[in-house]
Every structure is written in C-alpha cells, then in structure tokens.
Amino acid sequence: MTEKDINEPLQFGTQAPGEPYLDRPGVYGIAIDWHGRVLVARVRQHLVLPGGGIDAGEDMEAALRREYREETGFKIQLLGPIGRANQFVRSYRDGTGYNKLCQFYRVELVGKQGPIAEPDHHPEWISLSQAAENLMEEAHRWAIRKIQDS
C-alpha cells in the first residue's frame, strides 16, 4: 500500500457522465451512547449523521459544532478523527450535483444547547448495526463500519 492509498479518501456514489459536480467540503460527527447506539438525524424518510457543509470562513470544528447544534440541539466535544470519504450526490432541492468531501469525527455530547434549528431534522438513537445498514449515504455507512471494526 502506498502513501497515496493511505491518504486519499474513498469515493462513493456514481457520477453521471458529462454532469458537473461541485466539490462541497463537509464534516460529520458520530456520538455513541453507553448502550452502543449512535445519534442520527431523520430527515424526511432518510437517516443521516449530524453534520454538513463547511461555510466560507468557517473552520472544520466550528462547522461541526454549528451543524450538530442546529440538527440535534446538543453541544459536542471532538474526540478524534475517524477518516475521510467522498460522496457524489444530487441536491433534492434543485438537482445540483455535489461531490461531498466528508470528514468524520468521533464526538461526545456535553450538554443541551437549545432547540433544534432545522425543523425537518429529528434526532434519534439507533444501534450501530442499524446505522451501518440504513444511513442514506454510503460514505456515512462506511464511517460507522470503521468504528465497528476498531
């Protein structure tokens, strides 16, 4: 295995031929409770890890704290990196193609910060095995499997 193989993120999803995809850096946190369950957000009928895009001028840690607060209402502490993976997706809002450049971190909940700011996000706890099978994006399922394998 070369150094490039170790440092290059995996690519998930399929890019439609001839369709443009915009790179979208993002960060996601995985919180696991004492029962071995992971906190996810239900968005419409899909399950996702809390997190999302990094805004201009925002660093990765600030973005993850903001996204976690908006989607779950919790404050977090970062525990350490899990890995990186990319995911081709299409926006459900306008059909824009994105290559989500995802960074995944273990996080710990350190308190409630306030109400959920994203009304279509509903936090819930599920088992790691349910998450590894049912999260909407393959890159998110990959990050859960990395934790299961460690």
* All residues at 6 or more sequence positions from 16 whose CB lies less than 8 Å from its CB, including other chains: 97
Cα–Cα nearest to 71, from 135, 116, 39, 109: 116
pTM for the whole structure:
0.91
* All residues at 6 or more sequence positions from 2 whose CB lies less than 8 Å from its CB, including other chains: none
pLDDT tens readout for residues 95-144? 899 999 999 999 999 988 778 888 889 999 999 999 999 999 999 999 99
